[in-house]
Amino acid sequence: MNVAIIEDEIVATQRLERLIRQIRPEYNIVVTLQTIEESVEWFSQNPAPDLVFMDIHLADGSSFAIFDKIQVESPIVFATAYSEHALDAFEVNGIDYLLKPVNKERLTQAIVKFEKLGNSGGNPQLISNLIATLQEKQNKNKTHFLIPYKDKLIPLAVEDIAYITAEFKIARVFTYNLKSYSIDHSLEELTKQLDPHFFFRANRQYIVAHKAINDLSVWFGGKLSVNLTVPTDERIIVSKAKVSDFKTWYTRNT
């Protein structure tokens, strides 16, 4: 069984390779690819593998661009940062997905599902349906908010948001030019509305933007302190339990 991996994060690739060899030592990982360009070139010149593991966000753009250039006939298991709840609809398409960081149990389930599907997993229409669903989910992410102010609505672009905090259950948005606005959404609602590729729920009080992060400080108890390029009223602490997810999110976006 020949397997291809398309993933731009070296640590994630190595982890996936190790887990695949543990679960199915008979599988042959024929290639690991990091970019859209590499993937298009390889698939154009080589026989289709039996199975492909594909990250959605690559260093040179969305992996969906691969399908605009070539037809990939192999079954595909996508890796994504979207929540499991948001991806429930994908189950009907017959192709699986993995939430990063990948764990052994979930990977085993994906492989078993692939083996049960057989060649039907490579149906181009199923792949097309899944891509369309993924793109629809991406398109539902907020790009702008309208902030009520007196008798006006002030437009606020999501890309201008450095961080969001909760003040007495009221969310307050802070921008890079040091303006702040109250917004009628909870942090839970905003977490679902913002693109998880660019925003991370650091703790119960803060959502931080990737490009707003200046550096990180090692904090006691295995925690991390997130230091932003803009001032904050208090230190933003990532708990020990969330440090691994935070590091994966941050390095995947750089």
Per-residue pLDDT reduced to its tens digit, 175-228: 999 999 988 888 888 888 888 888 999 999 999 999 999 999 998 888 999 999
Amino acid letter, 152: K
Q: How confident is the model at residue 140 (pLDDT cuts 50, 70, 90)?
A: low
Domain with CATH 3.40.50.2300 in the chain: 2-139
pTM: 0.55
Task: Please check whether the domain covering 2-139 is classified as CATH 3.40.50.2300.
Answer: yes
Residue 237's pLDDT is 95
Residue 37 contacts by C-beta under 8 Å, 6 or more apart in sequence?
A: 60
| Cα-Cα-Cα-Cα dihedral sign, residues 22, 104, 198, 5 | positive
Residue 94's pLDDT is 42
Contact 76, 56 (CB under 8 A): no
Per-residue pLDDT reduced to its tens digit, 25-81: 999 999 999 999 999 999 999 999 999 999 887 878 778 888 888 888 888 888 876
Domain with CATH 2.40.50.40 in the chain: 144-253
Per-residue pLDDT reduced to its tens digit, 97-117: 787 778 899 999 999 988 887
According to CATH, what is the number of the domain 144-253? 2.40.50.40
Residue 45's pLDDT is 94
Contact 245, 101 (CB under 8 A): yes
